[in-house]
């Protein structure tokens, strides 16, 4: 049997250790988990402060919709159907105006038409079956199956993609009204109240979304296209300064920093994955109206410009792969093609930056054709130089990298000309204004 002197210290030791361990655990949780979560939340808010505003807007819209329960005269009119207004606000309130408008209008139209059709089918079933309840169920079941199958198939049609949410709500409303019609004593009042509450919820969401710090998909799409074009221009100008430096090819920048850390080498990569964002913004922008754009703005043309920009970005991706090539070409060969290559990079970079500014400011590009013509002349001269070079004078392995760079640059010029033509077409369709200062040829 252990003595009390032995038990005492052990007991104190066992009680002291868990307290320190718990304190250490809480400290680690605070330092690691809580701190990381707090920094993530802070970064999300700093990256786009509109997200914070969006949360406040949704909270305001939900509060306004809840007044259908708080104000007694309104509650006496709608009773528990007021919950549909609250659900509508939560379901349709999106980050941008176009998404909220599209969902709101789809929901109002689909609910009204689906409920009306459901009441009509109920009347047909009741009159055809009379007091025969199984017969009425068979008629309702037939129409629910037929309408549900047809509308679901319609959701696969590409032209109806903007109305996909509306078709889904139409199926839901029609099925609910049709199925519950035979068990509901006052079907018309319930349907009317439900339509009214959904319209109230949609109007609340749309008014709050547009009235307080609106986020327009049209502006976002315009800025995205302009930024993507500008990124390509930055790459070409940066490529000129880093690849051809004092007539020498080297795998590090002139300021001594690794080329992989240069912003112009990373910026263009986001252009390669922007297709989905551009198409989504273009579809949602059709629901919007602004003083800058209007209802008939050619959003499809922005998608066309974006597709041509990505086509050029793929060629730039190939150009980027030759930065750190291990073989060094002879100085004599590099010096022959350097001037024309740098001129192509310079002129195409200037042309892309002017096109980006034209899209962003909604002005007609004036001097872009001059830069493109200069780059075309340089590419023709570069073609002649490459044809005149005799392969027996050089080691083939050594001249492949710069020769490939020259060929890619020659191929880039027609791509940029296509982008310029698409932007000119966009300027014509959108009635871009003429800038105050016009550069004469």
Residue-wise pLDDT tens digits, 297-307: 899 999 999 99
The position carrying tokens 């809840």 is 66
pLDDT score at 252? 47
How many C-beta atoms surround the C-beta of residue 37 within 10 A? 10
- Spatial distance between the Cα atoms of 135 and 302, rounded to a whole number of angstroms: 55
Residue 329 DSSP symbol: -
Of the candidates 237, 238, 235, the residue with the CA atom closest to the CA atom of residue 268: 235
Query: pLDDT higher for 27 or 254?
Result: 27
- Spatial distance between the Cα atoms of 356 and 434, rounded to a whole number of angstroms: 15
DSSP for 332-395, written as a single string: HHHHHHHHHHHHHHHHHHHHHHHHHHHHHHTB---SHHHHHHHHHHHHHHHHHHHHH--GGGS-
Residue 51, token pair as written in the block = 């997200």
pLDDT score at 261? 57
pLDDT score at 198? 93
User: Quick one: the chain helix, strand, coil %, rounded to 5?
Assistant: 80, 0, 20
pLDDT score at 212? 92
Of the candidates 102, 440, 145, the residue with the CA atom closest to the CA atom of residue 137: 145
Residue 441, token pair as written in the block = 């040829």
Q: Is the pLDDT of residue 331 over 80?
A: no
Query: pLDDT higher for 75 or 378?
Result: 378
Lowest mean pLDDT among 65-69, 214-218, 294-298, 332-336: 332-336
- Spatial distance between the Cα atoms of 200 and 374, rounded to a whole number of angstroms: 60
Q: Is the pLDDT of residue 107 over 90?
A: yes
355-381: pLDDT as tens digits: 999 999 999 888 899 999 999 999 998
C-alpha pair distances (Å), 165 with each of 92, 280, 373, 386, 410: 10, 14, 48, 57, 47
147-205: pLDDT as tens digits: 999 999 999 998 888 899 999 999 999 988 888 766 666 778 888 888 999 999 999 99
Lowest mean pLDDT among 77-81, 143-147, 368-372: 77-81
pLDDT score at 244? 67
Q: Is the pLDDT of residue 394 over 50?
A: yes
What is the mean pLDDT of the segment spanning 206-222?
92
Q: Domain 217-430: what homologous superfamily? A: Phosphate transport system protein phou homolog 2; domain 2 (1.20.58.220)
What rounded mean pLDDT belongs to the chain?
82
Residue 224: pLDDT band with limits 50, 70, 90? very high
Do residues 313 and 415 touch, judged by C-beta distance below 8 A? no
The position carrying tokens 């049997």 is 1
Highest-pLDDT range among 215-219, 237-241, 255-259, 390-394: 215-219
């Amino acid at each position: 049997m252990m003595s009390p002197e032995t038990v005492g210290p052990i007991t104190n030791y066992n009680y002291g250790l868990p307290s320190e361990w718990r304190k250490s655990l809480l400290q680690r949780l605070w330092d690691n988990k809580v701190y990381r979560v707090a920094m993530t939340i802070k970064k999300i808010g700093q990256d786009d402060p509109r997200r914070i505003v969006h949360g406040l807007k949704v909270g305001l819209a939900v509060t306004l919709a809840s007044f259908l329960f708080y104000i007694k005269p309104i509650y006496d009119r709608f009773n528990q159907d007021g919950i549909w207004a609250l659900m509508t606000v939560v379901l349709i309130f999106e980050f941008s105006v176009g998404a909220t408008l599209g969902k709101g209008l789809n929901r109002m139209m689909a609910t009204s038409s689906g409920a009306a059709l459901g009441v009509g089918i109920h009347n047909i079933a009741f009159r055809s079956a009379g007091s025969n309840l199984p017969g009425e169920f068979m008629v309702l079941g037939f129409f629910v199956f037929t309408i549900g199958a047809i509308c679901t198939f319609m959701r696969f049609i590409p032209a109806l993609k903007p109305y996909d949410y509306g078709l889904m709500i139409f199926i839901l409303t029609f099925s609910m009204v049709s199925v519950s019609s035979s068990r509901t004593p006052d079907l018309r009042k319930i349907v009317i109240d439900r339509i009214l509450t959904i319209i109230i919820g949609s109007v609340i969401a749309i008014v709050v979304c547009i009235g307080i710090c609106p986020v327009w998909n049209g502006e976002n799409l315009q800025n995205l296209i302009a930024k993507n074009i500008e990124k390509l221009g930055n790459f070409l100008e940066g490529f000129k300064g880093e690849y051809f430096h004092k007539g020498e090819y080297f795998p590090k920048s002139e300021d001594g920093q690794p080329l992989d850390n240069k912003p112009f080498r990373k910026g263009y990569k986001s252009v390669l994955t922007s297709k989905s964002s551009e198409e989504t913004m273009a579809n949602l922008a059709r629901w919007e109206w602004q003083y800058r754009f209007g209802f008939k703005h050619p959003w499809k043309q922005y998608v066309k410009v974006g597709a041509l920009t990505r086509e050029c970005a793929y060629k730039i991706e190939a150009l980027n792969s030759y930065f750190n090539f291990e073989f060094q070409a002879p100085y004599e060969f590099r010096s022959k093609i350097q001037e024309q290559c740098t001129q192509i990079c310079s002129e195409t970079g200037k042309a892309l930056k002017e096109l980006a500014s034209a899209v962003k400011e909604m002005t007609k590009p004036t001097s872009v054709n001059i830069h493109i013509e200069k780059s075309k002349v340089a590419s023709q001269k570069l073609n002649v130089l490459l044809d005149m070079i005799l392969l027996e004078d050089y080691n083939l392995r050594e001249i492949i990298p710069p020769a490939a760079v020259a060929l890619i640059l020659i191929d880039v010029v027609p791509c940029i000309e296509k982008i310029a033509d698409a932007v000119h077409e966009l300027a014509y369709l959108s009635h871009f204004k003429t800038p105050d200062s016009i550069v004469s040829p």
